Chain A
Amino acid sequence: MAYNTKVIDHYENPRNVGSLDKNSKAVGTGLVGAPECGDVMKLQIEIDEKTRVITDAKFKTFGCGSAIASSSLATEWVKGKTIDQALAIKNTDIVNELSLPPIKIHCSVLAEDAIKAAIQDYVKKNPEKEKLS
């Protein structure tokens, strides 16, 4: 299978690899997928308490090249966005940006799930913030 050049670029130069302090109140962690399914994504976001803007994002992914690229792209996209803007990112946006073939669409779904899970985790840690949105 030949890969799209954008997938290869993200695979070879993944953006925002690493981890944030999962115990910090300002950090939301999303861990989605399962080892048995062949892909697991951990996506973390750091949120500015006042502006509700995502100031930093990190990821680590176990999965195929498309899964790595989808999560790398997701960290790029969420940075600088507000929670609501980040929640508006759809898996189809990722599919289009990376030209993923039908068999790899689940990678983009997982990336969208990872963003939502990270935000959910942040909201759970900061229940008072939810009322604002």
Chain B
Amino acid sequence: MRLPVYLDYHATAPVDPEVLQAMMPYFTEVFGNAASRNHEYGWTAEAAVERARQQVAKLIGATEKEIIFTSGATESNNLAIQGVAEMYKEKGNHIITSPIEHKAVLDTCHALEKKGFEITYLPVDHYGRVTAEVVRNAITPKTILVSVMAANNEIGTINPLREIGKVCKEKGVLFHTDAVQAIGKTPINVEEMGIDLLSMTAHKVYGPKGVAALYVRRKNPRVRLAAIVHGGGHERGMRSGTLNVPGIVGFGKAIEVAGRSMVEEGARIQMLRDLLWEKIQTELDEVYLNGHPTERLPGNLNVSFAYVEGESLMMGMKELAVSSGSACTSASLEPSYVLKNIGVGEDLAHTSIRFGLGRFTTQEEIEFAAKKVISTVKKLRDLSPLYEMAKEGIDLKSVNWTGH
């Protein structure tokens, strides 16, 4: 067992050996520029890119012409939102999103607000879900785009995309989803779900970093985008720049592997995730699950360990690579905005840990992780004045704290 145990698959994943093998020839042997139309080197590179485009399209029920390759999901989200805003600004200036989107979506929306766009941040329920009903009520004649994530990166909650897509179709509004965490983990079909734009990235599905894609619908309706990167007119003019051929080949392969292993792998990972949660609940009192109990990514477990601060918890279990919603892990000193928006109190937000399980997580690792978490929480609760007070029956909410 390699230490620290990697349980941060929402952040990134290692490249699958099968993916790496598929990429290798494209660094040295088949190095051509996919845009070189007059020789063999260019043709083979282009053929490899087109094969990857098909692989990516197939997983989400799209056609290959609807896939635009980019440098990362941040770029995909920027292109989708800024591209629609610029192209459809004559039609309206209203965009709808949720307050628990990834920063790549939120900050893009903030930037558009400064340019005169109006952004509605929909309320989410205490599981982090956006309902089709709140989307419907928020749409106005000025609305041009709804952007709601497929699955949340912190709490793993999966949104009812099909229902939201249906409302958007009815109202004639474009629907974008940031599906970075959901792709390859839960089935997504752009036709069945009425999705017009979809962001995804390779490195969360065991592909390389630095390559991603944006799905852009071509029929019913044909979505048009204003480019944000200008140049040689690659990717149907929506994203200029020489294509990252080895990366794209790896992305395609990674998506192909994800497509064929998703069901079996998801079941195995979920079994391990449930085992971890069960062990934690058996040994520790006052632990709270953040996010939806069933409508969540199989590899996600987000737990608040009351009375124990997240960063000190991570410090005590440095044999585990996890992530925390505590303020102390970020430069801002604000705890997780996702937890805050789903109604988790700041006191509990400071005590949260995100476990992300993935393809290479083993049962041995999960049993080790469970033991480590349990012993560290117990140790820190012995050190916690809050746990002591709670055990004495003091209502912590009634204490007059001297916050600073």
Residues of chain A whose beta carbon lies under 8 Å from any beta carbon of chain B: 1, 3, 8, 11, 14, 17, 19, 31-42, 60-65, 67-68, 103, 106, 109-110, 113, 117
Contacts and interface: CB of A to CB of B under 8 A. Distances in A.
B384 A64 contact: no
Given A32-B402, A38-B327, A62 B309 contact: yes
A64 B404 contact: no
Interface string B130-161: 00000000000000000000000000000000
A64 B204 CA distance: 29
27 contacts: A17-B382, A17-B383, A31-B385, A31-B402, A34-B402, A35-B347, A36-B345, A36-B347, A36-B350, A36-B401, A36-B403, A38-B335, A39-B309, A60-B383, A60-B388, A62-B307, A62-B308, A62-B309, A62-B384, A63-B309, A64-B309, A64-B315, A64-B328, A67-B312, A68-B383, A103-B333, A113-B404
B384 A60 contact: yes
A63 B403 contact: no
Contacts of A61: 383-385
Contacts of B328: 38, 63-64
Nearest to B350: A38
Contacts of B210: none
Nearest to A32: B402
A12 to B, nearest CB: 8
Interface in B315-349: 315-316, 326-329, 331, 333, 335, 345-347
B311 interface: yes
A38 B385 contact: no
B24 interface: no
B385 A62 contact: yes
B124 interface: no
B229 interface: no
A35 B384 contact: no
A92 B9 CA distance: 39
A37 B404 contact: yes
A45 B402 CA distance: 19
Main secondary structure of the interface of A (DSSP, over half): mixed
A62 B385 CA distance: 6
Contacts of A32: 402, 404
Name the 3 nearest CB pairs between A and B, nearest first: A34-B401, A34-B403, A35-B347
Contacts of A33: 401-404
A106 to B, nearest CB: 7
B388 A106 contact: no
Contacts, number: 91
Interface of B: 307-309, 311-312, 315-316, 326-329, 331, 333, 335, 345-347, 350, 382-388, 396, 399, 401-404
A83 B396 CA distance: 30
A2 to B, nearest CB: 11
A60 B307 CA distance: 11
Given A11-B312, A60-B383, A62-B385, A38 B331 contact: no
A109 B402 CA distance: 13
B277 to A, nearest CB: 23
Contacts of A19: 388
Nearest to A30: B402
Given A40-B386, A61-B384, A64-B309, 12 more contacts: A3-B315, A19-B388, A33-B401, A33-B403, A36-B350, A36-B401, A37-B346, A38-B346, A41-B385, A42-B385, A60-B383, A117-B402
Contacts of B315: 3, 8, 11, 64-65
A40 B404 contact: no
A38 B311 CA distance: 10
Given A33-B402, A35-B347, A35-B350, A40 B385 contact: yes
Contacts of A41: 385
B331 A35 contact: no
A109 B403 CA distance: 12
Given A61-B384, A63-B309, A64-B309, A40 B350 contact: no
A124 to B, nearest CB: 15
A103 B333 CA distance: 9
Given A11-B312, A65-B312, A40 B401 contact: yes
Contacts of A109: 404
Contacts of B388: 19, 42, 60
A120 B252 CA distance: 67
A11 B331 CA distance: 21
Contacts of A64: 309, 311-312, 315, 326, 328
A31 B309 CA distance: 17
Contacts of A65: 311-312, 315
A121 B309 CA distance: 26
B283 to A, nearest CB: 20
Contact of B312 (A63, A110, A113, A117): A63
A60 B335 CA distance: 22
A11 B401 contact: no
A25 to B, nearest CB: 20
